[in-house]
Chains A and B, each alone.
Chain A
Amino acid sequence: MAAVIDLDGVSIGYGADAPPVLVDVTLSVERGSFVAIVGPSGVGKSTLLRVVAGLHKARGGNVIIHQDQRPAHRPVGLVFQDARLLPWRRVVKNVQLGLEGLPVSRADRLRRAEDALKLVRLDGYARRWPYELSGGQRQRVGIARAMAVDPDILLMDEPFGALDAITRNNLQDELRRIHRETGKTILFVTHDLEEAVHLADRIIVLGGSPARVVRDVQNNAGRDGAVFRDQVEKLRLEIADNYSI
């Protein structure tokens, strides 16, 4: 399988003089895989995602995204923890945000936005204002917006962290379905081990101070049962061993 992203010796810090929070991250993400990054808060998971998205400059190392040659797409689609919709745009216009500036006709933009809304099962909500939506629906719009740019990789920054348990479970199932249906590569940051074990087929554990990759496991433990619990427990110990404040 071909890699979509290669990280090579990436280190991350905030401010020029502060010590780095994350060092020596070398990993490659295969096309179509669902990779979760877990670790205690403050370890730099979200920042790592921002580095991949080009929003934060790595202090050292290289980030390479192997872009497809398809026209009219963006390399990454980012989903935030707070859905982060533009309150002055209707849902369908929010979904089109990333398509603006790409060589896409107005009609195609609309069609792609509608397809993306259909993918997250929000067709029929196109003309709503963000304030009219529930938290879960807003997050679906956020996912649709990221999918509309047809990204090489979907980056998700604790996207379900602020939702109630029932909505979170629903959206986790939806995300599995979306992954199955579209075959998109997904890089998913979470501090919730169960979520990671449930969703991902590969789990990368960050830990230590400064943090580095302490574990990189293939995962197919599924949703529940003994295998699932074992996997979660194993990772929990792994993180506890490498945890320092």
Chain B
Amino acid sequence: MKIQHSLALSALGVVAFLLGWEAVAQSGIVPARLIPSPSAVPAAFLAEFQRGIWQEMVLASLSHYLVGLSLGAFLGVSFGTAAALWPIWDAFQAWVVRMLRPIPAIAWIPFAIIWFGVSEGAASFLIALTVFWINYYASYSAVRGVDKDLIELGHAFGQGGLIPRLFKIILPGALPGILAGLRAGLGQGWMTVVAAELFGISGLGMRMMEASGLLATHIVVLYMVTIALLYGVSDFLFMQVQSRVLSWQR
């Protein structure tokens, strides 16, 4: 499909979704408070924007997100790669991973507060945790999946030492899988941003909590849309980088 066509179709889908939503809200089938109409969102945006709240919340969430994402991604890729490279280390940490893995990031909220207080650090920590696991597993299987023949090729041409093997064969070979993990982490990270801020750390999640306490559902929707847009933009930018980095693929 041509890029203009797919862009046009995506835009059409969004418009249809908004129209359907507006129709349900306007029809009066359900009370306006339960489903705020999307046409109420621009006004809410203007009000929040003029008071400077919107910008402040976006910046706060963005900083939690970026810190948590980069920390979690870096550690996740490093630990996942290390476990895939060294069977002894893999065996050593396998059961620790099995025990820690099923605990959702939200379950760590009490500890996050005890360790970091109700602070930026706590939110970033929770985001990093979520992103860590996604990247850990993605990198682990990507590195394990690198063609053994290419590793043999490296040995045959003097690139068998750890550093050249890692940087010339294994990591480039695992890159598509690692990038897929990073991309999944990008989305999961935004979800955790909201969850982490619900308990009072300044940001989009906190503002949504405040607004829902006042039954200002149109403001809640404004921030939902904001998160959707932020995710959309970050995913789009990431895709641009990814297609450039992987231009060697057919």
Contacts and interface: CB of A to CB of B under 8 A. Distances in A.
A54 B164 CA distance: 18
B150 A101 contact: no
B188 interface: no
Q: Which size bracket describes the interface of A in this complex?
A: 20 to 34
Interface string B135-156: 0000000000000011011011
B159 A55 contact: no
A64 interface: no
B243 interface: no
B172 interface: yes
A82 B249 CA distance: 18
29 contacts: A55-B155, A55-B156, A74-B158, A76-B156, A78-B156, A80-B149, A82-B149, A84-B149, A84-B150, A84-B153, A86-B153, A86-B169, A86-B172, A87-B249, A88-B175, A88-B248, A90-B248, A97-B153, A97-B157, A97-B159, A98-B157, A98-B159, A100-B164, A101-B158, A102-B158, A131-B248, A131-B250, A149-B157, A149-B158
B168 interface: yes
Interface of B: 149-150, 152-153, 155-159, 164, 168-169, 172-173, 175, 248-250
Interface string A30-63: 0000000000000000000000011100000000
Given A90-B248, A101-B158, A145-B157, 17 more contacts: A78-B157, A82-B149, A84-B149, A84-B153, A86-B153, A87-B249, A88-B175, A88-B248, A97-B159, A98-B159, A100-B164, A101-B159, A101-B164, A131-B248, A131-B250, A149-B157, A149-B158
A129 B157 contact: no
Interface of A: 53-55, 74, 76, 78, 80, 82, 84, 86-90, 97-98, 100-102, 129-131, 145, 149
Closest 7 CB pairs of A and B: A98-B157, A78-B156, A88-B248, A131-B250, A88-B172, A97-B157, A84-B153
Contacts of A102: 158
Interface of A is mostly: loop
Contact of B248 (A78, A87, A97): A87
Contacts of A130: 248
Nearest to B155: A55
Nearest to A96: B157
A189 B18 CA distance: 67
B159 A100 contact: yes
B172 A74 contact: no
Contacts of A86: 150, 153, 168-169, 172
B236 to A, nearest CB: 24
A80 B150 CA distance: 11
A89 B154 CA distance: 13
A78 B149 CA distance: 13
A5 B29 CA distance: 89
A125 to B, nearest CB: 15
Residue in B153, B157, B168, B249 whose Cβ sees the most chain A Cβ within 10 Å: B157
B248 A129 contact: yes
Contacts of B169: 86
